[in-house]
Structure formats: structure tokens, C-alpha cells
């Protein structure tokens, strides 16, 4: 790492960055992209023809195929991702199971370009089409790409602004950290979350617009508007620490210790196994699924598009069971807002467990289990009276890999009645969540999305 004098950064600069982010958050509209103009621009993108997605049998996939020995479903190039088998072995509480899992070695980039206009930071967002989305367009990071995408394996068009995020680059990173992605479906996958403040002029592009953090937070209140990827990156911006008006319930060391305890207790082992040997799952002509329909299916799709990097392709998609729920319970201790995190063991986690929301599940998977085995706090979240529901939107999982994967995201206020909580749950402040987000693998994708929403509530 070269060390020219201009790169020398005192803590004062970090504080200044936090102030600039806070200033952008306090700016609810902008001359650069006025809210009224944005709404019609985004509506126009929504009306565009978008994708036609058709389910096909696996035999009609081009350049994708099953390995005859293992059953692995992979691309001929060896890039993108593959569908393999995973056996998870843990203690009695967590149990032992097998499942298909997506494997992707490359680190994806989720990058947002930032720039000051009129003295206020704006963020360059993309109206992005993905085949798996319900309703075609999401407001997404400036760049969302893997090396396979931007080095030409995809044989598609160039990815706008990618050079701002790949070394050697210009500009200064405000955020640069690895964060996990959906570890119930992906094996040890992570994405590089970046916010880079642009050096020099940034050319315009019809599918992109500059918005303040205040404008973005307004859009977080709408169903299926900001992508989860966008929320996840925005959650990592510095500045949220100032939310804490008093002492936290636990020190940060205690919070980290609680996660450490969960990792040590369950002794989880992950073993890749041949996909064709995964117990309880079967491969049909057009899907890999369970007879009881639980959890998810792997399907094959043919996609026709008119505005993506290439115009026609086939690919596997993961289609989760319908009706996912991700929810944070929140309350104040003294004057300080806390949220209740759950240290969750997930099949594909890089290190056993991360903190997730208070509730993260697909209720349909629990239809046939006794009431006391239902996820903790699920009923409290679903039956909360309206005046206690601070946030309630529908979000879809990333549409390049997941098919019609909608979940309900909620933040629910509780009162003094919830004080002692079960093991593996812990109260943290918004400021502590922000400090954890400077590092990798503390907070999972779902809770990052909800933390972004929590900031939006102010």
C-alpha cells in the first residue's frame, strides 16, 4: 500500500465523513434529481417491456449441465455459480441435514458511487432489471457484478462505471467491507460492499440517477423499490453511530462474546457432498425439490430481454417457498432505541453463525410442527397491532439468482414487557449495529436490510 502524504487520514476525517453522510440523510429532495422527476423516471422504467421469463426443463439449458458423477449443476466455463450438495452436522439442538446449495467462489461487487452536488453527498443508483424480480425493476447499486460479469465470460455489454470500483481505481472509499449473502442458500458467499466517492466528472447514463440519502430513505418505505443489495450497502455507511443518545444495554464486547458462544456451542461442520446423494431432495425434469415442497426449488429458466448485457439466455434460478418474514423487534431502554438480534446458525455461513433479525423464516415451513417449535417471536410479529408496526414493506431477493422470492420486512415496537430474552438473542443499539458493520460477517443480509430501514425511520 503506497503512502503518499495526501492519503494520511486522521480520525477527524472519519468523523467528517460521518457528518457528510448525516447531512445527506437530512436532505429529503434534490435539485439534481427532484423527487417528482424521479417518480416519473422510475415509473417509466417500470413500464418498459422488461424480461419474459419461461420455465424450461433442465435439458434445454444452454452451456449449463449436470456432472454425471456428482450431479453438480454448473456452467461449462466453470464460472458464475454451481448447485451442489451440502451436509450440515451439528449438535442436537441444530441437528443434521442435507440440502442443495449455491456455490460461487468469486466475490461480487456491490458498489455505489457517491459525489457531492450543491455541497451534499448524492449516490448514483441504477434502475436495474433482473429476471427473477416480481415487477421488473429495482433501484440498485451503481454496480452489481462479479468478475465473470466484467471480464467478459458473460460475453455481454460493458458494465457502466465498473472501472470506479476495480483496482487501480480513482476516488476514495467511504465503505469497503465484505458482507455475507443469504447463507441459507449460498455456501460461504460474500459480496464486497463499496461506496466510493468519485474523483472528477461522472458521465450520465439513462438508467442511472443521483439521489441523496434522504431521498433513498423515503424510497425504502415503498414495496419492491430499493433492492436488498442497495439497502445492504447503504446500511454500511458511516454516521449511524450518532443515533445513540445514551448507554447501550450491553457493551460491544458482550455482544461479540454472545455470538462467539453460539459458534462454539454448536460445533457445526459443513461437508460438500454430491448433489445426487442429498437426502429428501429429488431431481425431476424441470426442478430439484422436496416432495413436501418446503424450503425452495432449483428451476431452469429461459430469459428474453431487451436491455440487459446480452439479449437472450438460459440459467438456473432458486425459487424459495412463498411468504418469507424478516422482522426486528425494537424497544427503548431509557432514551436509547435497541433492536433484538438473533444469533443464527445458517447452513452456508462462513463461520457457523451471524446475527440475523429477531425473526427470519418462512412460516409455511412450520405448518406441521407443534406450536412450541415455531420460531420465537413469529406470532408476536405477525399479530402486532398496527400502531406498533413502525415499518412494513415487501422486498424481493436478488433477481439474478432468485425467482419471485418475496419476503415481508417489518420493524415492530415492543414495550417494557420484553426484558429478559432467550439465549442466542441480544439487544443492541443502532450505533452498535453500525460499528459491527465496519467488519465482516457479524450481521446477515436480512438484518442489514432492516438496519437500513431503521435508519430511515430516524
Q: What is the contact surface with its own copies in residues (CB under 8 A)?
A: 1-4, 7-11, 13-14, 105-107, 109, 147, 167, 173, 176-178, 190, 192, 247-254, 256-258, 260-261, 263-265, 267-269, 272, 350-351, 419-421, 423-427, 438-441
Q: To the nearest whole angstrom, how small is the minimum distance from the Cβ of residue 319 to its own copies?
A: 27
* Nearer residue to its own copies within complex by CB, 38 or 442: 442
Short-list 278, 316, 352, CA closest to 131:
316
CB atoms within 10 A of CB 271: 10
Q: To the nearest whole angstrom, how small is the minimum distance from the Cβ of residue 200 to its own copies?
A: 20
* Nearer residue to its own copies within complex by CB, 201 or 416: 416
Q: To the nearest whole angstrom, how small is the minimum distance from the Cβ of residue 2 to its own copies?
A: 5
Beta bridge partners of 356: 342
* Nearer residue to its own copies within complex by CB, 105 or 205: 105
Rounded distance between C-alpha atoms, residue 417 and residue 121, angstroms: 41
* Nearer residue to its own copies within complex by CB, 270 or 307: 270
* Nearer residue to its own copies within complex by CB, 61 or 114: 114
Q: To the nearest whole angstrom, how small is the minimum distance from the Cβ of residue 10 to its own copies?
A: 4
* Nearer residue to its own copies within complex by CB, 248 or 300: 248
* Nearer residue to its own copies within complex by CB, 123 or 427: 427
Torsion angle of C-alpha atoms 391, 393, 397, 399, degrees rounded to 10: -140
* Nearer residue to its own copies within complex by CB, 434 or 456: 434
Q: To the nearest whole angstrom, how small is the minimum distance from the Cβ of residue 262 to its own copies?
A: 10
Q: To the nearest whole angstrom, how small is the minimum distance from the Cβ of residue 376 to its own copies?
A: 13
* Nearer residue to its own copies within complex by CB, 109 or 228: 109
Residue matched to cell numbers 430501514: 453
Q: To the nearest whole angstrom, how small is the minimum distance from the Cβ of residue 311 to its own copies?
A: 28
Q: To the nearest whole angstrom, how small is the minimum distance from the Cβ of residue 438 to its own copies?
A: 7
* Nearer residue to its own copies within complex by CB, 100 or 238: 238
Q: To the nearest whole angstrom, how small is the minimum distance from the Cβ of residue 147 to its own copies?
A: 7
Q: To the nearest whole angstrom, how small is the minimum distance from the Cβ of residue 260 to its own copies?
A: 5
Amino acid at each position: 500500500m503506497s503512502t503518499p502524504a495526501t492519503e494520511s487520514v486522521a480520525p477527524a476525517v472519519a468523523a467528517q465523513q460521518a457528518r457528510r453522510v448525516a447531512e445527506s440523510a437530512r436532505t429529503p429532495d434534490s435539485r439534481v434529481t427532484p423527487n417528482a422527476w424521479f417518480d416519473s423516471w422510475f415509473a417509466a422504467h417500470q413500464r418498459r417491456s422488461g424480461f419474459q421469463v419461461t420455465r424450461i426443463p433442465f435439458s434445454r439449458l444452454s452451456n449449463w449441465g449436470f456432472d454425471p458423477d456428482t450431479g453438480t449443476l454448473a456452467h461449462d466455463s466453470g464460472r458464475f455459480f454451481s448447485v451442489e450438495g451440502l451436509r450440515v452436522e451439528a449438535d442436537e439442538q441444530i441437528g443434521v441435514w442435507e440440502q442443495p446449495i449455491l456455490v460461487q467462489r468469486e466475490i461480487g461487487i456491490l458498489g455505489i458511487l457517491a459525489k457531492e452536488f450543491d455541497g451534499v453527498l448524492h449516490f448514483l443508483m441504477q434502475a436495474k432489471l433482473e429476471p427473477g424480480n416480481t415487477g421488473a425493476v429495482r433501484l440498485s447499486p451503481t454496480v452489481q457484478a462479479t468478475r465473470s460479469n466484467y471480464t467478459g465470460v458473460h460475453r455481454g455489454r460493458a458494465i457502466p462505471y465498473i472501472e470506479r470500483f476495480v483496482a487501480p481505481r480513482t476516488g476514495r472509499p467511504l465503505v469497503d467491507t465484505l458482507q455475507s449473502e443469504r447463507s441459507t442458500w449460498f455456501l460461504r458467499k460474500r459480496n464486497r460492499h463499496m461506496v466510493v466517492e468519485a474523483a472528477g466528472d461522472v458521465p450520465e447514463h439513462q438508467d442511472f440517477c443521483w439521489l441523496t440519502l434522504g431521498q433513498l430513505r423515503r424510497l425504502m418505505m415503498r414495496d419492491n423499490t430499493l433492492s436488498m443489495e442497495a439497502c445492504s450497502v447503504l446500511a454500511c455507511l458511516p454516521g449511524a453511530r450518532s443515533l445513540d443518545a445514551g448507554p447501550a444495554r450491553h457493551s460491544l464486547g458482550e455482544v461479540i462474546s454472545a455470538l462467539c458462544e453460539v459458534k462454539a456451542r454448536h460445533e457445526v461442520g459443513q461437508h460438500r457432498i454430491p448433489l445426487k446423494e442429498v437426502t429428501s431432495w429429488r431431481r425431476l425434469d424441470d426442478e430439484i425439490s422436496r416432495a413436501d415442497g418446503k424450503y425452495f426449488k432449483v428451476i431452469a429458466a429461459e430469459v428474453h430481454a431487451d436491455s440487459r448485457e446480452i439479449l437472450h439466455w438460459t440459467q438456473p434460478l432458486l425459487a424459495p417457498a412463498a411468504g418469507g418474514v424478516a422482522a426486528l423487534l425494537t424497544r427503548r431502554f431509557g432514551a436509547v432505541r435497541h433492536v433484538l438480534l438473533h444469533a443464527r446458525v445458517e447452513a452456508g455461513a462462513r463461520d457457523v453463525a451471524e446475527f440475523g433479525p429477531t425473526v427470519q423464516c418462512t412460516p409455511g415451513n412450520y405448518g406441521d410442527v407443534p406450536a412450541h417449535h415455531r420460531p420465537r417471536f413469529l406470532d408476536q410479529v405477525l399479530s402486532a397491532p398496527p400502531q406498533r408496526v413502525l415499518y412494513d414493506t415487501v422486498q424481493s431477493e436478488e433477481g439474478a439468482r432468485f425467482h419471485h422470492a418475496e419476503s415481508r420486512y417489518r420493524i415492530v415496537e415492543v414495550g417494557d414487557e420484553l426484558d429478559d430474552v432467550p439465549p442466542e438473542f441480544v439487544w443492541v443499539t443502532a450505533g452498535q449495529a453500525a460499528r459491527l458493520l465496519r467488519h465482516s460477517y457479524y450481521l446477515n443480509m436480512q438484518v442489514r436490510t432492516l438496519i437500513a430501514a431503521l435508519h430511515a425511520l430516524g
